[in-house]
Amino acid sequence: MATLIEQKYIAAHPGSAQRHEKAKHMFPNGVTHDARRQNPFQLYYTHAMGPHKYDVDGNEVIDFWSGHGSLILGHSHPEIVTAVQQQMAKGTHLSGSTDLEIRWGELVREMIPSAEKVRFHSSGTEADMMAIRMARAYTEKSKIIKFEDHFHGWSDYLSADADGIGGIPKEALETVIVLPPNDISLIEQTLQDNDDIAAIILEPTGAHMGLEPILPAFLEELREVTTKFGVVLIFDEVVTGFRISDGGAQSYYGVTPDLTTLAKILGGGLPGGAVCGKAEIINMIEPRDDADFNKNRRIAHNGTFNANPLSASSGIKALEILKRDPINEKAIRMGNLLKRSLNEVLSKQEIPGCVSGVNSLIHIRLGTDHDCDHEICMLSKEDMGKTTNSIRNAQLNLALLNNGVHSGTRFIMSAFHTERDIAKTAEAFGNALTDVRAEGLI
């Protein structure tokens, strides 16, 4: 039987319900991205501007998904729209090099501390695949260390410890060592015991966009230990690049990895990814005057849409705006206001939990009292389990949508969310909590 929250949701979204009925016979679960699966059905949107989007039933929604993290400039930024329109008229694919790729690469090198050289891709998954392959080719070692629940796309190797690993050979999974984060002694012992480790890869703010945080001191320790053992350190900055700061998490924390993977904001809202880092590692793609190297160690890399003109024009404009305007400062300021406002709602309703996060990546943790500085919030596994109650959080997501907010338990800020948006969101959060409490879930 549908909850009252679900009944309100169904009544408010008949157009989306109708489209879901059609889509579920066409796509698995009726969706084209696992994160968009939603019971009783996903919403369908028609257009967006700034921090707002509109569904097929005419509902206006304050958007905190922000293009899965790619839209720090909000939807349909006029300068990006103009740049893409102008390039569309010139050509979408010229089957050759352009000045655009040079400018795009220059901006990456100027902004990301680790970027000596750059190789463009079409997605974050591709960038992560290339980074670990580069590390293996460069070191001539085969194994990779990743951390529990850290997400690096859906490729075979980096899906180790994830759900949904059907079709992946166990031989591929056995080349990845999965460890808990924030324990440098365990890392050092593992490297001492295994001399076949090519790289360590991690999300530098922690799993799930920082929901399970990495301690800044651990990043510094990783840099020291990987240097000591000759292991390539890879920061997956697909989400955090150009967001935690203009130079990513590595600039914010002052720790420079050997390789960095980028996507999302890099493309300014269009598909785009990159690996950047030490020239000698990126250069594993370059042929040499050595037939054996070219056959057995060089990395062959094609990609029809690598640095394509549309993504390059969008990405260039986005990065130029980030350099020109105080974009991150605005997003961080709005993020801090959101944290304060939502924590006040929790306090007023006497609900255990907190809203915390690093800069413009904000998380709701419900169900447990704990000490927290509202930036880095470390919880035990038991308490983390309480905060990730899937039934309660799914109902909260629907209740927020009923009140005009698309966030769930994570808010990805743009620089164009306003104080009025934050006030409306706090009101919606209070109403949603009341509805969830009425279902006996709080």
Distance (Å, rounded) from C-alpha 281 to C-alpha 297?
12
Distance (Å, rounded) from C-alpha 344 to C-alpha 342?
5
What is the pLDDT confidence band of residue 381, given thresholds at 50, 70 and 90? confident
List the one residue out of 280, 274, 297 whose CA is nearest residue 112.
274
From residue 119, how far is each of 122, 131, 307, 324 by CA, in Å? 10, 10, 9, 24
Mean pLDDT within 222-237: 98
Query: Is beta strand 232-236 parallel, antiparallel or unpaired with respect to 197-202?
Result: parallel
Digit-coded pLDDT (tens) for 124-139: 999 999 999 999 999 9
Q: CB of 284 within 8 A of CB of 127?
A: no
What does the mean pLDDT of the chain come to? 96
Residue 377, SS3? coil
Just give the CATH number of 4-75+327-438: 3.90.1150.10
pLDDT of res. 376: 85
Among the listed ranges 90-104, 219-233, 363-377, 420-434, which one has the minimum average pLDDT value? Answer: 363-377
Residue 210, SS3? helix
Domain with CATH 3.40.640.10 in the chain: 78-324
Just give the CATH number of 78-324: 3.40.640.10
Q: Who's near 29: CB < 8 A, 6+ residues apart?
A: 37
Tokens 């900055």 belong to residue: 237
List the one residue out of 146, 135, 277 whose CA is nearest residue 201.
146
Domain with CATH 3.90.1150.10 in the chain: 4-75+327-438
Give the number of other CB atoms < 10 A from CB of residue 396: 25
Classify burial at 79, counting beta carbons within 10 Å of its beta carbon; exposed 0-12, middle 13-18, buried 19 or more. Answer: middle
pLDDT of res. 80: 98
Mean pLDDT within 275-291: 97
Q: CB of 158 within 8 A of CB of 129?
A: yes
Digit-coded pLDDT (tens) for 293-338: 999 999 999 999 999 999 999 999 999 999 999 999 999 999 999 9
190-195, long-range: CB within 8 Å, 24+ apart, which pairs? 190/145, 191/225, 191/229, 191/231, 194/143, 195/141
pLDDT of res. 335: 96
Digit-coded pLDDT (tens) for 415-438: 999 999 999 999 999 999 999 999
